[in-house]
Structure 1
Amino acid sequence: MAETVFEVILVGDSGNIARYKPDPLMELLKQHLPDAYPSAVIFLGDNVYPHGLPEKGDRLRADAELVLQKHYEAVKGYTGKVIFISGNHDWNKGKDDGFDYVVRQEKYIEKLFGGENVYLPSNGCPGPKEVPINDDLTIVAINTQWWIQRGFRPIGAKDGCSASSEEEFYALLQDIIDRNINKKILVVGHYPIYSYSLHGGKFKFKHHLFPLTIYRKKAFMPMPVIGSLLPLYRKYIGAPEDLSNLRFRELRKNLKAIFGRHPNLIYAAGHEHNLQHIYKNQVDYIVSGAASKSTYVRKGKYGKFALAAKGFFKLKFSSDQKTVAEAWVVDELNAQGKMAYQAELH
C-alpha cells in the first residue's frame, strides 16, 4: 500500500457548534488531527451562525466570538496548515453589508492565529488563491459567495484582488490548473457544484406536504398541493443560496467546463448539511458540510455516497498520486468516531 504523504480534513458549516460544552464534531476532529505526516484542516465556510461576526456592541457579537474561539481551540497546537473560507452566513447571509462582516471575521480569525494568513481568499476577493503543497498536490481556494453577494463586492488591484473581472477570474483559475496539470488539484469553495440535497433541489414527499419542515424539522403544518410550490421554486428558480440560482448557475457552468478538462481534480464544498461523494465527467465532487447538523440527502444518479450525519471527509493523498476519501461520523460510543465510507478517487 502506498504511503500517505499528505492528508486534508474537510470541515464544513461548523458555525453552530456547542458553545458551553465540548462539541462532538470538534472533539472528533481533535482525534483525527495527523501528526505523523504533513496535513491540513480546511473549514469550508459558514464558520459562524446565524449572521457571521457582527460589529462590536451587537447583541450577537459575544456569541460569534465564542464560536470562532472554539474553532481556534480545536486546532490549537496542531502543526499542519489551517485554512478558512467564507460561506453565505459569514457574509451576513448575503445582505448588502456582508462585505463588512466577512472582512471583520477574517481579521478576527487571523488575529487568533497570530497574524497568519489562514483566511482565503483574502479581503473578500473572489480568488482564485493557489496554495502549493508539494510536488504532487496544489490546493486552490475560491470564494463562491462573491458571485451571488448583494452590495459591495471587491474586485481588482484597488481592492487587493488578483482578478480584475469575472472573466479574469476564470482565466486565472485555468492558468493555475494548466501549471499544475501533472499534480492532484483540490479546489475548495463553500457552494457545491452538484448536490442531491435541499440546495440542489432534492426534496422528500414530506417537504411537499409539510413545506416548513425544509427549514425546521418539526414544523408539521400541512399544506397539501400549495405546499409543493416552495420545493418547486427551490428546484427550478432558487433562493439566493440554491444551486439553481441564476447567478450561481453561471458560475457552476463555467467551473464545470474548466474542471472537466483536468482528470486529477477534486472539488470540495460545504453548504449542504450532509456528506456526499459525487463523480461526474471525470471529476470527484465532495460535499462535507455536516459539522453542526444533518439534513436530508439521497444518493442520486452520479452519487457514490450520501449520508445525513454529523461528520467530515478526509482526503489521503499517497506517494503514488492516488487519493483515498474517507467519511467519518460522530459515534457516541467511540471517541474516534465511525468510518462510514471509504473509496479511492478517480
Structure 2
Amino acid sequence: MQSGGREKKTYEIFLIGDTGNVARHGPDPVLETMRSHFDKGQHSAVIFLGDNIYPKGLPPEGAILRKDAENALIAHKEALKDYHGKVLFVSGNHDWNKGREGGYDYILRQEKYLEKLFGKTVMYPTKGCPGPTEINVNPNVTLVMINTQWWLQPGFRPIGQECGCRVESEEDFFKHLITILESNKGKRIIIAGHAPVYSYAIHGGRYKLRHHLFPFTIYHRKAYFPLPILGSLLPIYRKYFGAKEDIAHPRYRHLRKRLIEIFKSYPGIIYASGHEHNLQHISKDQNHFIVSGAGSKLKYVLQTGKNLKFGMKAKGFFKLKFENEGSVYISAWVIDANAEKGKMVYEYKID
C-alpha cells in the first residue's frame, strides 16, 4: 500500500476489550502481559474496546459499587503509567449502566474520571455521542471510533449539536462514516467499537448442545440446572430474536446491516470489537473483523466456521503490526505463566 510518497513508519496497535474485571489490587496478568510488549522505540496505541468497568460502569459518588469501579479504572492507569503511546477507550453496554436506562450519566462520569486519571481526553466518541470520530495516529494509519452502545441503549441518547454531538440523526452518522472512509482511501483504516459485526460465539447466536440442555450456563458456566426441551427456547430466542446485546436484536441488526453494506465498498478495513469474552479473527468481503474481548472474562467460541480464521477461549489480546511496505500482521497473544510476553497463538498477514 502506497500513501502519496510519504515516509512510512512502522506502527503497532494493541486491541483489548472487556477489561472491567481486571485485578483491582496488584498487577493484572493480562494487562501486565500486554505491558511487556511496549517498546519506547516503537510508535503505538492501545485501544480498550469497551466494558471497562464491571458490573455496570461508574456509579455516582456514595454508591456501594463506586470505589470498586474507580479501582478498575485506576488499574488500567497503573498498567499504562510508563506507556509512551496513545491510549484510547470506547464504551460498552456495561459502561452504560449495563445497558439500562440512565446509562448516559454513567458514561459521562466514566469519561470525566478517565480524563482526570490520564490528564487528557481518552474516551471516544466523547459525551456519549454516536461518533464517528476520526483519529489520525500515523501518516498511513487512521482510527475511526464509533459508539455501538449508543444504538442499543434504552432511554436518553445524545444526538445533535445541543448535546455536543457531530451528527444530527442516525442516517447522518452513516454519511459521516462514509466521508471519513472516502477521505482516507489509500491508508489502513481501523474502526473500533464495542459490539462485533460478526461473531462465532454467544452474541452471534452460536450455541452448543449444553446450552439447550442447561440454558442458564449461557449466563454462568456452573449453572447446570437441566431444562431439556424447554431449555432450547432461550438459545433459540437469542439466536433469532435476540436480547438487546445480541446480533439478532432489531436495533443491533440495523446497525450491523448498514456497516456491512458500507464496508464492502472499502476493502482492507479492520473492524475491532470486544463484547464476546474470547479472541476471534473473521475475514469476509476482503475486510477483517477482530473480536478481542478476553481482557478479564472468558466464554466459549467456535473453533471453526466458514469465515472464521481463528477462535480461542483464553485471556489475552490482539496486536496489529503495520509494516513499512504496507502489510499488516495480526497476532493474538495469551497469558503464559512461563513467558513474560505471553504466548503468540495466532498470526496472519494482510498484504
Same fold (TM over 0.5): yes
Match of 2:292 in 1: 288
| Deviation of 1:47 (Å) | 0.1
SS across alignment from 1:231? helix
| Deviation of 1:37 (Å) | 1.6
Q: Is the contact between residue 331 and residue 344 of structure 2 (CA under 8 Å) also seen in structure 1?
A: yes
| Deviation of 1:263 (Å) | 1.1
Work out which of the residue numbers 152, 155, 160 in structure 1 matches 2:159: 155
Superposed, 1:228-239 pairs within 5 Å as 228-239=232-243
Q: Say whether 1:249 aligns with 2:253.
A: yes
Q: Say whether 1:23 aligns with 2:28.
A: yes
Superposed, 1:140-219 pairs within 5 Å as 140-219=144-223
| Deviation of 1:4 (Å) | 6.5
Q: What is the alpha-carbon distance in structure 2 between the residues aligned to residue 276 and residue 217 of structure 1?
A: 20
| Deviation of 1:345 (Å) | 2.6
Give a deviation string over 1:9-60, Cα, whole Å, max 9, x none: 0010000011123211111111112322210000000000001000000000
TM (norm. structure 1) is 0.98
Q: What is the alpha-carbon distance in structure 1 between the residues aligned to residue 182 and residue 196 of structure 2?
A: 22
Match of 1:307 in 2: 312
Work out which of the residue numbers 82, 91, 97 in structure 2 matches 1:86: 91
SS across alignment from 2:288? strand
Give a deviation string over 1:204-237, Cα, whole Å, max 9, x none: 1111101111111111111101111111111000
Superposed, 1:313-328 pairs within 5 Å as 313-328=318-333
Amino acid paired to 2:65: L
Q: What is the alpha-carbon distance in structure 2 between the residues aligned to residue 94 and residue 234 of structure 1?
A: 16
Q: What is the alpha-carbon distance in structure 2 between the residues aligned to residue 47 and residue 15 of structure 1?
A: 4
Give a deviation string over 1:294-322, Cα, whole Å, max 9, x none: 11101211000000000000000111111
Q: What is the alpha-carbon distance in structure 2 between the residues aligned to residue 48 and residue 34 of structure 1?
A: 27
Match of 2:4 in 1: none
Structure 2: gaps spanning 5 or more residues: 1-7
Work out which of the residue numbers 68, 75, 92 in structure 2 matches 1:70: 75
SS across alignment from 1:325? strand
Q: Is the contact between residue 4 and residue 316 of structure 1 (CA under 8 Å) also seen in structure 2?
A: no
| Deviation of 1:244 (Å) | 0.7
Give a deviation string over 1:66-92, Cα, whole Å, max 9, x none: 000000011112110000000000000
Where in structure 1 do 4 or more consecutive aligned residues deviate above 3 Å? Answer: none
SS across alignment from 1:71? helix
Structure 1: gaps spanning 5 or more residues: none
Task: Decide which moves more: 30-39 or 10-19.
Answer: 30-39
Amino acid paired to 1:233: Y
Q: What is the alpha-carbon distance in structure 1 between the residues aligned to residue 38 and residue 97 of structure 2?
A: 30
Q: What is the alpha-carbon distance in structure 2 between the residues aligned to residue 282 and residue 56 of structure 1?
A: 47
Q: Is the contact between residue 279 and residue 312 of structure 2 (CA under 8 Å) also seen in structure 1?
A: yes
TM (norm. structure 2) is 0.96
Match of 1:272 in 2: 276
Q: Say whether 1:226 aligns with 2:230.
A: yes
Q: What is the alpha-carbon distance in structure 2 between the residues aligned to residue 73 and residue 190 of structure 1?
A: 23
| Deviation of 1:182 (Å) | 0.8
